Each structure stands twice: as structure tokens, then as C-alpha cells.
Amino acid sequence: MKTIAKSQWLVVVALMLLIPLTVVAAEKQKSNPEKQTIKEQQTPPATSKVNKQPVNNVDSKGDLPNNSSATPQKQNNRMSKPENMPIYRPPLRGAPAGRVAGGTRGFNEKLPYLCTLVPEHIGLTVEVQPCFYYFLAAETDLPLEFTIIEKNTVYPLLETRIRPPHTAGIHVIRLADYGKQLEQGLQYKWFVALVPDEEHRSKDILTAGAIELVAVQPELKEILQKTNNIEAASIYAEKGIWYDALTSISAAIAKKPDDGILARQRAFLLEQVGLSEASQYESQRLAHN
């Protein structure tokens, strides 16, 4: 009986200790009624499962949609966006193909920097005979070689020697000049090599890029037919069609090589995909004329 009484007494003591704490808590809640409301507002509501983004913005038939859902690639902080400049929105197409910039492999002689003007991922085109651009940082009398080959094949679609001399700057290779065409839906790798030693080709300076031909919808094609090269460059860039965006702005520059606005547009487009050396050269090109 004494044990029971002692237990009851402990319960009574515990309740007596809890009652003041409860009263204090209630008074605090009464004196600060907004605290609980704020806490409730900070709790995020339950959300439904978000749908996964598509793997890319090209459909199963290889067609490019009229409106790209891709987000713009992160731009380099060294160049702010000028007005009316093309904004490149890369297509969502999985892992990058890997852009290769020109570098020596076991050759110590100082040679000019060489780079294909491509994004790090597979660039798109809607032209069966696209243009390929590369950048050479300094003039050279060494020969260059251009090669394009379909992925997972042995024999190249085209392999040709580009004879010197070569000036510094941005250069173009037109597939139409060689009577070759790309096939839709296939991925191609292309290379430009600077050949310093004909007997030891392991010393080549090699740079590479990737390209894929996709179909464009009739509505977009009709719009492009009514635009000039400058407007087309922005449209192509917005749709994630890299090669044709660069070709359009380069065609405008070919007609007006001393136009500073066009030079800045191409420089800005190149900077967006990390081609800083070529972009800086283009930005400064007219200043040296």
C-alpha cells in the first residue's frame, strides 16, 4: 500500500510541475499569435511528382521542334550580353561529344593554336552540305588536313589537304565544294589537323568537333526564307542549330568584313560556348585594321 501511495504521489508532483509550464506556454502563444502562423507559412505545401525533362529537343524522327525547351548554356562572365545579339540555346541531347582543341603531342616546337568552332556537345545543322569553321591563332606555312567521318565507321566521308599559306583568323570549309552530303540522323566527327612533320604524324596538332543533320519543320523554314543572315543567325541560335547560326552571321560578315557590330555578334556567339580565344580575336580584329 505504501508503494502505491508513493507512486500516486509522484504522479501528483509531476502534474504539478507540468501545469505551470503549460500555462507559461499558453501565455507565450497568446502573446505572440503570429509565430505559429509564420511557421506554418514557411512549411512548403506538398507537391506532385515533377515530370522528367525530355532527353533532348529533337523528336524520335530527328526533327527539330518549332520551339526549343532547352535552357541557354552558361555564359562566360568576361563578356556581357550586348543588345540584339544571338543567344545560343543548346539542345538537350545527353552527354557531350567532347570538343578537342588543338594541342601538341610530343612536339616541342612552338606552333599556332588551332581549334574547331563548335560547342562541346554535338552541334546541329539543317543543311545537307554545311560549313565547318575553325580558328587559327597565327599564320603558318604548314599544311592543314580536313577529315569528316561518320560515327562508328572506318572510311571517311571526306579527307582533303588544305594547302598553305594560312593566315590567322577564322576559316571555313564548305562541304558543297567537295560534292559531299550528310545523311539525316547520323552523327559525324570532323577534324582539322596541322601537320608539322609529314614523316611523324603523331606530332600533328589535332582539333575536332561533332555534327548531326536534323530536319526542320516547314513553319520554321518558311520564316527563315523571309529573313536576312543577321536575323537568321538569331533564329538558328535560339533553336539550338549551332552550325547554321555561325554560318549565317559569318555570311553577313563576308559581305561587310569591316562591320564592327557583326564582328561583336560573332564574338558573342563564340564566347557562349567557351571559344574564348576565337572570340577575343574576333573582338579585336577590326581594332588592328
Q: What is the pTM of this model?
A: 0.71
Find the domain containing 233 and state its range.
Answer: 71-288
Residue 179 resides in a domain: yes
Residue 42 resides in a domain: no
Contact in structure between 262 and 282 (CB atoms under 8 Å): no
pLDDT averaged over consecutive 10-residue blocks of the chain (289 residues)? Answer: 42 41 42 40 39 38 43 44 80 68 53 94 96 96 96 93 94 97 95 93 92 90 88 95 97 94 95 95 78
pLDDT digits (tens, 9 = 90+) for 34-93: 434 333 434 444 433 333 333 334 443 444 544 433 434 444 444 455 557 899 999 876
Q: Which amino acid is at 125?
A: T
**What is the CA 242 to chain-centroid distance, rounded?**
9
CATH no. for residue 231? 2.60.40.10
Residue 189 resides in a domain: yes
Whole-number pLDDT of residue 225 = 86
Residue 41 resides in a domain: no
Residue 11 resides in a domain: no
Residue 108 resides in a domain: yes
Q: Which residues of 72-104 are buried (b: 16+ CB within 10 A; e: fewer)?
A: ebebeeebeeeeebbebbbbbbeeebebbbbee
pLDDT digits (tens, 9 = 90+) for 218-232: 888 888 888 899 999
Residue 6 resides in a domain: no
Instruction: Give the bridge partners for 206, in sequence order.
Output: 193
Domain count, the chain: 1
Residue 281 resides in a domain: yes
50 burial type by CB count under 10 A (0-12 exposed, 13-18 middle, 19+ buried): exposed
